[in-house]
Structure 1
Amino acid sequence: MYFEMLKGEVIMGRKPSYTESELLDITKKLVLEHGYDGFHLKLLSQHLPGARSTIYQYYANKEEIVAACMKRVISSVIEKASAIDETDTMQALQELLGIYVDESKLHQLLGDAHKINTTNSAAASRDLDVVEQGHTTLKIQLTRLFQRAQQEKNLREDIPLPVLIGGFFNLINTPNMINVPNPEWSKLLFQMWIGGAQR
């Protein structure tokens, strides 16, 4: 049996009342709701069962928790994106949009990454490096697919690549006002983007 002192509370070999995955799920939800500045450990503990000190069994501070949350989100997107069969370029782009729509809050979440002070946290610094590398990986994939789509004459070549990519990526910010499931919504967005709205 081991003894661990956490914020004045002695925990004797006791299992945490929530998993690390559950902790990161709640963190993501709260950071999206309150922003990085409005997120703090007291708020997090109010949404978790058990003592606040249990948080420290997983992470040392707010910076580590949020950085780990960001890393998990972008790692999930990359895993799904890298599994796409790119044989059919346009189909691959449609599937990629579906993944982005499923994580449509990705930009909002990662937008606060620059606010995380990593001076006193090597773990947070490492996780943010993964986030930055993840951005690069997604950008490379998107650029590759768009270049191929232009070469295959599936997309207009007179529109600069950054404009095509920017417009495509910003489709995820379109509010789903008809409240259809994400797969159906992403297909509608793709059809609008590829065909335009003009008759």
Structure 2
Amino acid sequence: MMARESKFTKSDLYQATHHLLLQHGYAGFHFGLLAEKLNITRAALYKYFNNKDELITEYMAYEMERFLEELEKIGEYSRFEDQLDFLLRVILKYSDIHQILSMAFQIPKSKHAKVNQTLQQLEHQHEKMYALLNGFIHLGKKEKMLKPELPEHLLLGFIFNAVNIPNRSHVPEEEWKNLIKEFLCYGMFGKRCN
């Protein structure tokens, strides 16, 4: 029997990691599945990563950096409503990534320095994301589009959770974004509740 070819690109690796994390979650992900998906040996993976946490955290930091690079463009829009539109588009584009990034909380502190270092990097990236989003919230309150008494974390939580609702009806993406925006702006009631 011939050994399987052990060549793969970082893009192949990250794409397969992405797919398997969505399919199996953090607990179900292991190098055996990844090696099978890439048609390589497990030994080929261990040449680059000591364990799955090292790979997963590196992948998460990479995706978070891509998300932040795009999110930084929110400042190019001066009006809150335009920023909201932009933010919803970006979050929808990276909706799978948010699901994966939430798995970071399942990764335990490690005896491997590289994993802990990357977890720390992810924490800094999250802080940067919230700093950008707090500017968005402050603009909304300044323009009197958002209720001043609502805390930032509640408003951001509603936005992220609204975007994470599965589009089971397969509504076109732009229409889906507009439905989410309408819900966020006007709520679900046709008239005011008492």
Q: Same fold (TM over 0.5)?
A: yes
1:165-191 per-residue CA deviation (whole Å, 9 max, x = no partner) reads: 221221112221221343432232112
> Equivalent residue for 1:101?
92
Q: Partners in 1 of 2:7 and 2:169 — Cα distance?
A: 38
Aligned partner (choices 34, 40, 46) of residue 24 of structure 2: 34
Aligned partner (choices 25, 39, 43) of residue 53 of structure 1: 43
> Equivalent residue for 1:70?
60
**What is the RMSD of the two structures over their aligned residues, measured on CA atoms?**
2.5
Aligned partner (choices 118, 124, 132) of residue 123 of structure 2: 132
Q: Partners in 1 of 2:19 and 2:133 — Cα distance?
A: 27
1:97-134 per-residue CA deviation (whole Å, 9 max, x = no partner) reads: 21112222334322332333453322222221121111
> Equivalent residue for 1:89?
80
Q: Between Structure 1 and Structure 2, which shows a larger proportion of helix residues?
A: 2
CA offset at residue 150 of structure 1? 1.1
Checking the alignment, whether the CA contact within 8 Å between 2:167 and 2:176 is kept in structure 1 is yes
> Using a 3 Å threshold, how does the CA distance of structure 1 residues 140 and 115 change in structure 2: closer, same or farther?
same
Q: Partners in 1 of 2:11 and 2:171 — Cα distance?
A: 28
| Equivalent residue pairs, number | 188
Q: Partners in 1 of 2:6 and 2:175 — Cα distance?
A: 39
Q: Between Structure 1 and Structure 2, which shows a larger proportion of strand residues?
A: 1
**What TM-score results when the alignment is normalised by the length of structure 2?**
0.84
Q: Partners in 2 of 1:166 and 1:117 — Cα distance?
A: 24
Q: Partners in 2 of 1:114 and 1:170 — Cα distance?
A: 17
CA offset at residue 44 of structure 1? 0.9
CA offset at residue 69 of structure 1? 1.4
Checking the alignment, whether the CA contact within 8 Å between 1:24 and 1:69 is kept in structure 2 is yes
> Equivalent residue for 2:163?
172
Checking the alignment, whether the CA contact within 8 Å between 2:6 and 2:41 is kept in structure 1 is no
Q: Partners in 2 of 1:130 and 1:64 — Cα distance?
A: 13
Q: Partners in 1 of 2:89 and 2:138 — Cα distance?
A: 20
CA offset at residue 16 of structure 1? 4.7
Q: Partners in 2 of 1:120 and 1:75 — Cα distance?
A: 25
Q: Helix, strand or coil: the match of 1:153?
A: coil
Q: Partners in 2 of 1:88 and 1:96 — Cα distance?
A: 12
Checking the alignment, whether the CA contact within 8 Å between 1:63 and 1:118 is kept in structure 2 is no
> Equivalent residue for 1:18?
8
> Equivalent residue for 1:3?
none
The runs of 5 or more residues in structure 1 that have no matched partner are 1-9
Amino acid at match of 2:19: K
Q: Helix, strand or coil: the match of 1:189?
A: helix
Identity %: 30
